Amino acid sequence: MEKKIYMILEELRPECNFCGSENYIEDGLLESYDLIMLIAELENKYHIAIEAEDVIPENFSSAAGIAALVQKCGGII
């Protein structure tokens, strides 16, 4: 499940080492524009809608957090 998230992240920011990070936001791997692009990709790929109240750092700080958000929104990874 998280492997698919890593693949999306690596397509979005191929120069970053997401596997070596414990917190993508704090480590500067994902910035505001990246989050917008990531949300759009997740919504398109998994046919979900991510609500504004779910766009919080905790949901995007790790592959596990992103996977949990996708599942919460009804996506199947």
pLDDT tens digits along 10-35: 999 999 999 999 999 999 999 999 99
Nearest 10 degrees: Cα torsion 3, 64, 37, 71 = 100
The residue range of the domain holding 41 is 2-72
**Structural domains in the chain (count):** 1
pLDDT tens digits along 32-70: 999 999 999 999 999 999 999 999 999 999 999 999 999
Tell me if 9 is assigned to some domain: yes
CATH number of the domain where residue 28 is located: 1.10.1200.10
Tell me if 77 is assigned to some domain: no
Please compute Rg for the chain using Cα positions.
Answer: 11
Contact between 46 and 40 under an 8 Å Cβ cutoff? The reply is no
Q: What is the pLDDT of residue 1?
A: 81
Tell me if 63 is assigned to some domain: yes
Other CB atoms within 10 A of residue 1 CB: 13
Residue with tokens 């070596």: 20
Tell me if 60 is assigned to some domain: yes
Tell me if 30 is assigned to some domain: yes
